[in-house]
Chains A and B, each alone.
Chain A
Amino acid sequence: MSIEIRFRIDRSDFVLDVDVEIPATGITAVFGPSGCGKTTLLRAIAGLEPCGDGFLRVGEMRWQEGAHFMPPHKRPVGYVFQEASLFAHLNVRKNLEYGVKRVPVSQRKVSMERAIELLGIGPLLEHRADQLSGGERQRVAIARALAVSPGILLMDEPLAALDQARKQEILPYLESLHDELDIPVIYVSHSPDEVARLADHLVLLEAGRIRASGPIGEMLTRLDLPLAYGNDAEALIEAEVAGHDDEYDLTLLDFPGGRFTVTRHDLPVGHAVRVRVTARDVSLTLEHQSGTSILNIFPATIEEISPAGNAQMMVKLICGDVPMLARVTRKSASVLDLKPGKLVYAQAKSVALLS
Chain B
Amino acid sequence: MLNDADLAALAITLKLASVTTLILLLLGTPFAWWMARTRWRYKFMLEAVIALPLVLPPTVLGFYLLVALGPEGPVGGLMELLGGEPLAFTFTGLVIGSVLYSMPFVVQPLQGAFASIGRRPLEVAATLRASPLDRFFTVAVPLARSGFLTAAVLGFAHTVGEFGVVLMIGGNIPGQTQVLSIAIYDHVEMLEYGHAHWLSGGLLLASFIMLMSVYALNRRFSLVRP
Give A residues with C-beta under 8 Å from B. 46-48, 71-75, 77-79, 81, 83, 85, 87-89, 98-99, 102-103, 144-145, 148
Contact = CB atoms under 8 A, between A and B. Distances in A.
A78 B142 CA distance: 23
Interface stretch (B70-78, B124-132, B195-203, B207-215): B124-132
B121 A102 contact: no
Interface in B123-152: 123-132, 134-135, 138-139, 142-143, 145
Contact of B128 (A47, A48, A144): A144
Contact of B127 (A83, A88, A145): A145
Interface string B89-108: 00000000000000000000
Residue of B121, B126, B134, B138 most packed against chain A (CB within 10 A)? B126
A148 B123 CA distance: 15
A144 B124 CA distance: 10
A102 B124 contact: no
Contacts of B123: 48, 72, 79, 81
Contacts of B145: 89
A85 B142 contact: no
B120 A98 contact: no
Contact of A73 (B121, B129, B142): B129
A89 B143 contact: yes
B120 A102 contact: no
Given A88-B143, A89-B142, A98-B138, A148 B124 contact: no
Residue of A46, A73, A98, A148 most packed against chain B (CB within 10 A)? A73
Residue of B129, B138, B145 most packed against chain A (CB within 10 A)? B129
B126 A87 contact: no
A99 B124 CA distance: 10
Contacts of B132: 73
Nearest to A98: B128
Given A87-B139, A98-B138, A72 B127 contact: yes
Contacts of B121: 85, 87-88
A71 B129 CA distance: 10
Contact of B120 (A47, A85, A99, A144): A85
Contacts of A73: 125-132, 134-135
B129 A148 contact: yes
A160 B163 CA distance: 57
B129 A87 contact: no
30 contacts: A48-B123, A48-B126, A48-B127, A71-B131, A72-B127, A73-B125, A73-B127, A73-B128, A73-B129, A73-B131, A74-B129, A78-B127, A81-B120, A81-B123, A81-B124, A83-B120, A85-B124, A88-B121, A88-B143, A89-B139, A89-B143, A89-B145, A98-B130, A99-B128, A99-B129, A102-B128, A102-B134, A145-B127, A148-B128, A148-B129
Contacts of A47: 126
A87 B126 CA distance: 13
A91 to B, nearest CB: 13
A103 B127 CA distance: 11
A51 to B, nearest CB: 15
Given A46-B127, A72-B123, A144-B128, 5 more contacts: A79-B124, A85-B121, A87-B139, A87-B143, A88-B143
Contacts of A75: 127
Contacts of B128: 73, 98-99, 102, 144, 148
Contact of A77 (B127, B130, B138, B139): B127
A97 to B, nearest CB: 10
A201 B61 CA distance: 67
A214 to B, nearest CB: 28
Nearest to B117: A88
A88 B128 CA distance: 15
A117 B125 CA distance: 23
A103 B143 contact: no
A52 to B, nearest CB: 16
Contacts of A145: 127
A141 to B, nearest CB: 8
Nearest to B126: A72
- Per CB-CB distance, the 10 closest pairs between chain A and chain B, nearest first, are A99-B128, A102-B129, A79-B127, A72-B126, A89-B142, A73-B126, A85-B124, A85-B120, A73-B129, A48-B123
A145 B130 CA distance: 13
Interface string B10-49: 0000000000000000000000000000000000000000
Contacts of A148: 128-129
A105 to B, nearest CB: 13
A72 B125 CA distance: 10
Nearest to B143: A89
B104 to A, nearest CB: 26
Contacts of B126: 47-48, 71-73
Nearest to B145: A89
A188 to B, nearest CB: 15
Nearest to B123: A48
Nearest to B119: A48
Nearest to A99: B128
Residue of A46, A72, A83 most packed against chain B (CB within 10 A)? A72
